Amino acid sequence: MNKKQISILGCGWLGFPLAKHLISKGYKIKGSSTTVSKKLMLAEAGIQPYIFKLGEDNNQEIYDNFLSESEVIVINFPPRRIPDIINIYQEQIRSILPHIKNYQKVIFVSSTSVYQNTNDWVTETIDNKPEKDSGKAVLAVENLLKSHSKENLTVLRLAGLIGYDRVPGRFLANKKEVANGQAPINVIHQDDCIGLIDAILKHNSWGEIINGCADNHPLREEFYTLAAKKANLTPPEFKKSETIQFKKISNTKSKALLNYNYKYPDPLILVR
């Protein structure tokens, strides 16, 4: 049986290896980038390339061609950290919505930044109250997509992204008075991000909200100290006494619904 055609909006750090993985599984892939110089790289990987920036007036025909005949659309386009991020991100996604047909399935690569700190476990059922503008922007787009087609939409909320060239030792190296050293962290490896999307496709799991996060949640101080030492960098210095704020992202639903076993359940394996 022929595999589906999939359009991946955003072939960057996650989208490009995702596209290559899906091609290896027999899928036909259309992929987008905002960078003209990436067109050849996409084509050489077997991806049908499209170069455009969301929200530009002259893109209507490009949107139609990019999305046409694809059974699944993966929206993997995170908001940029810019002023008025909440409105701009919605307008960018809103510009392509009229070109998504009712029968097309959508995976929106979201973020666990939509969750507030609870000093406890967090599941997909919580009433979201994001604390930062980036989280507010992502939640607003989740709701925008739900209003377009809730039944055909699956939202994948990913924790902090690590793996390959995202070396966590660089994140906090040399910093002083770093907060929340005794708080548990929430991260997910690139391979598990791809594995979860593959599992959603395999199980035809639509109309869902799913968290993606490693099983274990080591303390921030331990993880980033080890990560810096492994990268031969100066470890960060954490505050000695403070009130910590945290959340622990539960991945129970992802494992049960998708029958998924995380490749990297313990982030400490990556930094020891």
Which helix or strand (DSSP H or E) is residue 30 part of? Answer: strand 28-33
129 contacts 114 by C-beta, under 8 angstroms: no
Binned at pLDDT 50, 70 and 90, residue 184 comes out as very high
Binned at pLDDT 50, 70 and 90, residue 3 comes out as confident
Compute the Cα dihedral for 169, 171, 211, 35 and give only its sign.
negative
Binned at pLDDT 50, 70 and 90, residue 242 comes out as confident
What is the average pLDDT across 153-165? 97
The one-letter amino acid at 133: D
- Mean pLDDT for the chain? 95
186 contacts 112 by C-beta, under 8 angstroms: yes
Q: Give pLDDT tens digits for 187-208.
A: 999 999 999 999 999 999 999 9
Using a pLDDT cut of 70, give the percent of the chain over it.
99
Q: Give pLDDT tens digits for 74-88.
A: 999 999 888 999 999
- With a cut of 90, say whether residue 127 has pLDDT above it: yes
Residue 122, CA distances (Å) to 125, 186, 247, 248, 267 in order: 8, 11, 6, 6, 19
Q: Give pLDDT tens digits for 12-45.
A: 999 999 999 999 999 999 999 999 999 999 999 9
What are the E-state strand segments in 127-267? 153-158, 160-162, 187-189, 209-212, 248-249
Q: Quick one: pLDDT at residue 2?
A: 58
What is the average pLDDT across 147-163? 95
Q: Which fold has domain 78-163+189-216+247-264?
A: Rossmann fold (3.40.50)
Q: Quick one: pLDDT at residue 58?
A: 85
Q: Quick one: pLDDT at residue 132?
A: 95
Find all residues with CB under 8 Å of 2, minimum gap 6, and list them: 26
CA angle 90, 95, 101 (to 5 degrees): 110
Q: Quick one: pLDDT at residue 1?
A: 36
The domain locations on the chain are 78-163+189-216+247-264
258 contacts 203 by C-beta, under 8 angstroms: yes
What is the average pLDDT across 36-55? 96
For tokens 């909320």, what's the residue? 157
3-class state of residue 40 by DSSP:
helix
What is the average pLDDT across 253-264? 98
| Buried b or exposed e, range 132-152, using 16+ CB within 10 angstroms | ebbbbbbbbbbebbeebbeeb
